[in-house]
Each structure stands twice: as structure tokens, then as C-alpha cells.
Amino acid sequence: MSKIVSSAQEAVADIFDGATIMIGGLGGCGTPLNLTAAIIERGITHLTVICNNLGDCLDLAQEKRIKKAILSFPQIPGQPDSPLVDGYNSGDVEIETVSLGILSERIRAYGAGLAGFYTRVGAGTILAEGKESRVFDGEEFILERALGADFALIKAYQADRMGNLVYRKAARNINPIMAMGSKVTIAEAEEIVDAGELDPQVVVTPGLFVDRLVRAEKRVRWFRL
């Protein structure tokens, strides 16, 4: 069955105010910029956004559509201004910072059906405040809960009509994990081919994890560092 929809606007049509969404990418590399633009166009607001860093949700932050951000880097290195930090300082945005490895593993745990995991990372620091801790083999571990979302917005280089996805180099980043960590996964791809045309050896995300697919124009976000 084809997963293709006609436009980015149609792809995000059921995302609602207050939804929790994951946004793939790494500072704009592999970020689904067409889908986030469609969210802005539809006027969706009060979102909880899970992403790698500010660069992946910058447009939503600038348009003040984010109520809470769960991410590793709320500010772009070398740039003094951050709409997320400004929102936090004004009391309009809640920010939860999570180290990148732990963020990825929390999402992966959700996709694998796990409630959470124990880790040494952050034990004995401010990051452990309010979290359950246990001692294993004489070392302290803290419990990190699995992290899921209502929707995941991801970016692929190529796709077939069944939703099988291929990524390009570093643009792969956190996208495959997020495809597993949500109730609904929406993918944009630069190129869509017929079923059977992709080499199965290079498919990273099986179509099983993709609910909707849209052919999207190539967009690049540049940062001045």
C-alpha cells in the first residue's frame, strides 16, 4: 500500500495543538524542514518538541509554537541569541536538557517497548535530581524513562512508495530511532521511487515504521558560527 500523500500540509493535517512531536536532524542536517514549515502554516501551537538541538526546531521556536523542548543543545554554539532560552527566561517555554546519548537511548527504549533503563551517566550530579537511583556492583546508577511522542517528523534522502527509507551520510543521525519512537511517523524524502527499486541492503528504516510519506523540496539551513 502506498504511503504517499500529496503535500506536507496534508501530511501534518492531524497534528493538534499541544501534541508531542519528535523532529529528526542534527543542527539542520537531515531535518524535515518542509514538515515543520507546514506546521507553522497550519497555526499549530503549544507543542512539546523532542529534538537534537535548537537548529532542528529553530523555525518553530522563532514562531513561538513551542511550549516545552526536550533536547541536548538549546542554543547554537557561537550565536548569542536563542529563542528557546529567551522563552525560558520569560517563563513561556519549559526546557529539559538531556545528553545526546541518553536522549537517543530513551527514544530507542520506547520503540523497543522498554519502560526505561539504568545508567551511570549523570549519577551524583544535578541531572540525577528527582530520579530513582540504585547501586549495582558498588556503583550508582539512575533510572532514565523511555521517551515517546504522538508524532515523529523525519527526513530521508530516498524512499519507495511503501515507506522504506534511505538516508544520506550524516543526515541519517537520529531519524531512524525517532521513526520507532512515536505513534505516527511522517517522513519527507527528496526522491520517491517505485517499490522494489531500492536496494534492500541500504534501506535503514523499513516501511513498517512509516505512516505517511511526502515528496519534499530540498531545503538547506545555514548557520553563522
Domain CATH for 192? 3.40.1080.10
> Cα(172)–Cα(186) distance, rounded to whole angstroms?
15
Residue with the three cell numbers 554554539 = 77
Does 110 fall in a domain?
Answer: no
Q: What are phi and psi of 200, to 5 degrees?
A: -55, -25
CB atoms within 10 A of CB 138: 5
pTM over 0.75: yes
Q: Which domain holds residue 69?
A: 8-102+147-215
Query: What is the identity of the amino acid at 9?
Result: Q
Nearest to 59 by CA among 36, 81, 79: 36
Q: Which tens digits make up the pLDDT trace of 168-204?
A: 999 999 999 999 999 999 999 999 999 999 999 999 9
Does 65 fall in a domain?
Answer: yes
* Mean pLDDT, range 140-163, rounded to an integer: 97
Q: How many domains does the chain have?
A: 1
User: Where does the pLDDT of residue 224 fall: very low under 50, low under 70, confident under 90, or very high at 90 and above?
Assistant: very low
Does 41 fall in a domain?
Answer: yes
CB atoms within 10 A of CB 65: 19
